[in-house]
Amino acid sequence: MENEGYDPMRWLNDRGYDAWILEYTVAGSSSIRPIYPKPQEEALEAVRQIRAQDRVRILGIWGWSAGGHLAAVTATSPAAALDFAILAYPVISMEPGTAHMGSMRNLIGEDAQPEIRHQMSAQTRVTSETPPTFIFHTANDDSVSVQNSLLFAASMAAHRCPFEILILPSGPHGVGLALNDLKTSWTEELYRWLQNHTPKP
């Protein structure tokens, strides 16, 4: 929660952005597996509640790892109508060979029907209406393959949607903001992108 929740929230706040943290259903907090579609429903409800406050001009979503999958699925949902997305070393695919097996088991189960695998593979959900997206990964991520980010970027390109992808050559999964690590720090590029894709706070 600190590394991929409170730290990013403070980083955004310091730059004039409002930020909320969504504590959504994960396998560890639920005795029922698979947990689909509960996280997806909770994310859409969070979007609805934030918009109901009528305090933001634009609204985006930022997710990390398995939360990156939830962010990607939400960003590609017409019901969310989000303005931008940030995906940090995200799980994207639910297809065998690319999927992060733990995430797939927890979310949809190993025996999920092909149509559910397809529906929950975020790269298949991209349309021309998908909002601008910033994608970050490291090439040697040994937990969630960088192929996930590449799949999503390829779909964005195929639909001519604005995106930026930053792949650093080396860094562990879960690196977070890496503010004090020159080798894996990436937030300067993210902030430049945010300034170009969001109104000035």
50 pLDDT higher than 60 = yes
32 pLDDT higher than 90 = no
Is beta strand 60-64 parallel, antiparallel or unpaired with respect to 133-138? unpaired
Structural element, H or E, at residue 177 = none
Q: Contact, 64 vs 138, CB < 8 A?
A: no
Task: Give me the number of domains the chain comprises.
Answer: 1
CATH code, 189: 3.40.50.1820
At 162-188, the pLDDT tens digits run 999 999 999 999 999 999 998 999 999
CA distances in angstroms from 128 to 8, 49, 131, 151, 200, listed in the order given: 28, 26, 8, 16, 25
69 pLDDT higher than 90 = yes
Is the previous residue joined to 96 through a cis bond, with omega within 30 degrees of 0? Answer: no
180, two tokens: 């004090």
CA distances in angstroms from 109 to 106, 112, 153, listed in the order given: 6, 6, 26
User: Which domain does 175 fall in, by range?
Assistant: 2-197
Average pLDDT over residues 5-28: 95
Segments in 76-186 forming alpha helices (H): 101-107, 114-119, 147-158
Q: Contact, 61 vs 79, CB < 8 A?
A: no
* Confidence bin at 31 (pLDDT 50/70/90): low
At 70-125, the pLDDT tens digits run 999 999 999 999 999 999 999 999 998 888 999 999 999 989 999 999 999 999 99
Structural element, H or E, at residue 38 = helix 38-52
CA dihedral 30, 45, 123, 162 (to 10 degrees): -140
Please indicate whether residue 127 or residue 100 has the higher confidence score (pLDDT): 127
